Amino acid sequence: MALTVKRPKGTQDITPAEIYKWHTVERVAKESAEQFGFREIRIPTFEDTGLFVRSVGDTTDVVQKEMYTVSATGDSTFTLRPEGTAGTIRAIIENGILNDGFPQKVFYMLSCFRHEKPQAGRLREFHQFGCEMIGAQNARADADIIALAKSVIDRAGLKNIQLNINSIGCKKCRADFHKALVDYFTPRKAELCETCQERLDKNPMRIIDCKSPICSEIAKDAPVILDYLCDECKEHFNELQENLKAMNIEYSINPKIVRGLDYYTKTVFEFITTDIGAQGTVCGGGRYDGLIETLGGAPTPALGFGMGLERLILTMESQGVEFEQPSGCELYIAPMGDKAARAAASLVARLREEGFYTEYDLIGRSLKAQMKYADKIGAKFVIVLGDNELEQKTVKVKNMTTGEQTELALDDSFGDKFSDLLMASIFDKLDREEEQK
């Protein structure tokens, strides 16, 4: 039979066989976030379209080309979130969290939707781990948020991830920079892509971030924002670097990073790998001091980052990082015949109540097939339950790693004794691993 409906292009199924990789990165990200004092926030999957137009910016690729906008009945249009910051900041304002004292620190793990050309590491539905810090003006905060992103990357076990930083200044310094960009690009306006020709008037900095090969070629020698920073922004950028040094975080300055979202001010940064091909930005972020005001909150400085979980996992795979394996079944019970199956049912019920991970045969397989299944689910111990065992009220508990068998009475003490066996086998395994090292 052929499947008549397939998953949409650029989406992915994460199957039970792969989910342990996701659990690993999700755990790592959450642990780092909590260690830095961030608490989780959950927001809707779709928002009013205007939220993204106003925050991400109407001249960005995301808003101009990549949004999934749906029109519900009536006159409102909604957009599946292309990123997490706008919705998070909306929620923070809407829920009065701005009045709860600063800094506010939140993290989220969510799916994002962008209509892009699907490639390895570039999907139409992808997942981001993001952190936002609200109410901190000082560059110490920028260093701390960068340290948090780095902590996730380190904890995940990644090597050779490069941190690039830049400052794209504030409104004040950007005015002169925009003028310089217009002067630079105007003589070659006709060669720019259509979108960038429009951007030249509205938002020339976007041209630097354009992915079209002609635009990026032309943009190669464009003026860089670092030469136009005002004193305050310069000072902030220096302070960031001093703090990164104090935290022992290596970085490079890349004056060409402008980031693809309009709300950034001052600090921008990216963590890059060359191990997964062209889509090498594992994490991108920066400061967005104007966003809260733009969205109707009291002027409040803020900053954050988004980390692509697919890219994080791809990089871990390509670097051969080991993911945590799910813990296997502790005890598999192989009954022979219907009467034994009922005894097995009551035994698993009791053992699960005592906290064990245990399974027994549900589909009437032969003993041989059951042993194969036990192996597949990684069962640490197996017991075979037949008429003999039921009569004698004792079973042989087989350690599947060593082959060793231990006779245990099938009475109220079974759980306790099995627990001892299990603990001993865990210590054994640790000893063996220690010896191998």
Give me the least distance between CB of 279 and ligand ATP, in Å please: 5
- Is residue 339 a contact partner of residue 390, using CB atoms and an 8 Å limit? yes
Among the residue ranges 135-143, 215-223, 240-248, 305-313, the one whose residues contact ligand ATP (CB under 6 A): 305-313
122 sits near ligand ATP (criterion: CB under 6 A): yes
137 sits near ligand ATP (criterion: CB under 6 A): no
256 sits near ligand ATP (criterion: CB under 6 A): no
Name the CA dihedral angle for 61, 66, 68, 71, rounded to a multiple of 10 degrees: 50
80 sits near ligand ATP (criterion: CB under 6 A): no
115 sits near ligand ATP (criterion: CB under 6 A): no
- Is residue 311 a contact partner of residue 274, using CB atoms and an 8 Å limit? no
165 sits near ligand ATP (criterion: CB under 6 A): no
Q: How far is CA 48 from CA 81, 294, 421, in A?
A: 9, 15, 57
299: tokens are: 């002027």
132 sits near ligand ATP (criterion: CB under 6 A): no
Give me the least distance between CB of 346 and ligand ATP, in Å please: 49
Tell me how far apart the alpha carbons of residues 33 and 20 are, in angstroms, rounded to a whole number: 20
Cis link prior to 103 (omega < 30° from 0)? yes
Which of 289, 310, 361, 389 contacts ligand ATP by CB under 6 A? 310
141: tokens are: 């905060």
Which of 21, 114, 150, 199 contacts ligand ATP by CB under 6 A? 114
409 contact partners, CB below 8 Å, separation of at least 6: 393, 394, 417
Residues binding ligand ATP: what is the number (CB under 6 A)? 19
- Is residue 170 a contact partner of residue 163, using CB atoms and an 8 Å limit? no
Question: Which residue, 121 or 223, is less far from ligand ATP as judged by CB?
Answer: 121
Tell me how far apart the alpha carbons of residues 398 and 394 are, in angstroms, rounded to a whole number: 13
116 sits near ligand ATP (criterion: CB under 6 A): yes
3-state secondary structure of 268: strand
283 sits near ligand ATP (criterion: CB under 6 A): yes
306 sits near ligand ATP (criterion: CB under 6 A): yes
Give me the least distance between CB of 112 and ligand ATP, in Å please: 7
Contact positions vs ligand ATP (CB under 6 A): 83, 114, 116, 121-123, 126, 128, 260-261, 279, 281-284, 306, 308, 310-311
